[in-house]
Chain A
């Protein structure tokens, strides 16, 4: 009987995999159209995102370096009017956005980057994170500037609104704006289902199987059952409206992130003698002096790609989360958003990369096959043998919270396309739950393919819109900074003087 169930369920997993494979490769082929550079394929979409980060870094006068101080003052509430108590604060908008981005990209994605690109990918990942701060600032400022407040007071924003309203306002090209907004919304629904859902479900399931015994786990071959359990939990929140689950997750994520960073610090401390060699490996790999990994270009591409996937800068998703903040100046949230890629990539991703390199876990001959969470897990286990169990809980919490956040992004995009129709939004939520099961059942390869391509597709209309709106954006941000500098906008309590 057990054998029969096993055989049947294996076919379910395999059948789902077989059905998705061709779709995955077609989408991947289009989005990741690559040109060979120095013998390595450079996907143009990665160049597109990095170029946007570099452009906005220079165009906005290196606010990714000069802005964070003001961002911290804003998050602390130094500029918040006390009469706004009870509204969405900068801290809350940032925390919500961060809990959507800090997820498996930081654990699994980074492991994949090191496994494929070598330790050198770390450096390029950090650089991409720093450049991403500028893109994030640009998109979140626009998100607040062109957000929509409904008559009942609810607030929605995001690329679909700034692409439509902003482009129409700045260039008068109503149809261009509308086209890009629709393009973005469709890609966003795909991204929500791909990276925001299937990738998360897949890696969370892999982790559950790994801690319940790996190949001997009773759940091996029954991945879809784990997926079903996740789908029910997600459905309970997004369709059933059981908010308590979402609230618990929102509180669990920051705690797990703290535990994760603490554990990473312990692993690093236990390996202090290995640090100089690890840093040497990382730098040598980054600039092409190492035989490990894919050389300079390989490390660069993988590093950039994983950073972009993890912090979502230029993708446009965060603009949706940041838009609900209570502020009279869109640039305030732009500043706050600077901190997001910093926390996500420069802090959390780097922590993961360091422990993988320092522990030498990536040198394991099967590192490439291990990929994802398993590699990170192995790196932690070198010092903290019990940590994989904690990591499993963290992975599940991160994955679940990312799924909830992305279901919201997808729902907002659906809402935009269908005029806030509740039927359309409910239909989207149901499809979303089905894809939780699909994602859990697939093997990692096709899932990464679909997830990456759908998420990166969002960057095409979003970054294009950001370029079109760049001049008005710069005026907005520079005007705000001038007002802060001359005291027109002052800290609370300093206005009286």
Chain B
């Protein structure tokens, strides 16, 4: 069995360029790609009773939208030549990507550059920068 490459996708062009890069790497090394999209969500957020009532419906809608708008285009980039495992989850983007990398035994993580402005990144950090700080495996950021 070859290597496993985890790619974080968010529907952006940079994300899909990361997918293309992952596909080429996987093909060359006879590996497979885990395509992951994380819907930002926190178990500790404050919600209204209406939010709670509609949550199961919303969650299903979010998952369906993610499949259609993010996963389908990304899977199209991967194509049929390379084995691909799609994953859509709710949670903190960094935490979920790190968990998935461990779970699937990924030997590297690929993400697109998010292109947030400097101030925002200075205050909150960005997903790629947090991954670089915390991951156990090499992280590649695709511009």
Specify whether A and B are partners.
yes
The answer to whether A88 and B89 touch across the interface, beta carbons within 8 angstroms, is no
> Taking A85-B90, A96-B52, A320-B49 as contacts, is the C-beta distance between A91 and B44 under 8 angstroms?
yes
Contacts of B59 in A (CB 8 A): 86-87
Q: Is B48 an interface position by the 8 A CB rule?
A: yes
The answer to whether B53 and A154 touch across the interface, beta carbons within 8 angstroms, is yes
Contacts of B89 in A (CB 8 A): 85-86
CB distance from A10 to the nearest CB of B (A): 37
CB distance from B44 to the nearest CB of A (A): 5
Q: Is A205 an interface position by the 8 A CB rule?
A: no
CB distance from A95 to the nearest CB of B (A): 5
Chain A contact residues: helix, strand, loop or mixed: helix
CB distance from B100 to the nearest CB of A (A): 11
Contacts of B41 in A (CB 8 A): 85-86
In this complex, what residue of A is CB-closest to B45?
Answer: A92
The answer to whether A324 and B57 touch across the interface, beta carbons within 8 angstroms, is no
The answer to whether A88 and B46 touch across the interface, beta carbons within 8 angstroms, is no
In this complex, what residue of A is CB-closest to B62?
Answer: A86
Q: Is B123 an interface position by the 8 A CB rule?
A: no
Q: Is B60 an interface position by the 8 A CB rule?
A: yes
CB distance from A98 to the nearest CB of B (A): 10
Q: Is B43 an interface position by the 8 A CB rule?
A: yes
The answer to whether B55 and A87 touch across the interface, beta carbons within 8 angstroms, is yes
Contact of B49 among A89, A253, A405 (CB under 8 A): A405
In this complex, what residue of A is CB-closest to B57?
Answer: A153
Q: How does the 8 Å CB contact mask read for A12-55 relative to B, with 1 for contact and 0 for none?
A: 00000000000000000000000000000000000000000000
Q: Is B2 an interface position by the 8 A CB rule?
A: no
A366-B54 Cα distance, complex, nearest whole Å: 48
Q: Is B50 an interface position by the 8 A CB rule?
A: yes
Contacts of B73 in A (CB 8 A): none
The answer to whether B46 and A324 touch across the interface, beta carbons within 8 angstroms, is no
A408-B49 Cα distance, complex, nearest whole Å: 7
A149-B53 Cα distance, complex, nearest whole Å: 10
The answer to whether A324 and B90 touch across the interface, beta carbons within 8 angstroms, is no
Contacts of B44 in A (CB 8 A): 89, 91-92
Q: Is B143 an interface position by the 8 A CB rule?
A: no
Residues from 245 to 261 in A contacting B, C-beta threshold 8 Å? 246-247, 250-251, 253-254
Q: Is B79 an interface position by the 8 A CB rule?
A: no
Q: Is B39 an interface position by the 8 A CB rule?
A: yes
Other 9 A-B pairs with CB < 8 A, given A99-B46, A325-B52: A86-B39, A87-B59, A89-B44, A243-B48, A246-B50, A324-B52, A326-B56, A405-B49, A408-B50
Ordered by A's residue number, 18 sampled pairs between the chains whose C-beta atoms are within 8 Å are A85-B41, A85-B91, A86-B62, A86-B89, A89-B44, A91-B43, A96-B49, A153-B56, A153-B57, A153-B60, A154-B54, A155-B52, A155-B56, A246-B48, A246-B50, A250-B46, A254-B46, A321-B49
Residues of chain B touching chain A, judged by Cβ–Cβ distance below 8 Å, are 39, 41, 43-50, 52-57, 59-60, 62-63, 89-91
- 3 pairs of A and B residues whose beta carbons are closest in the complex: A86-B90, A324-B52, A153-B56
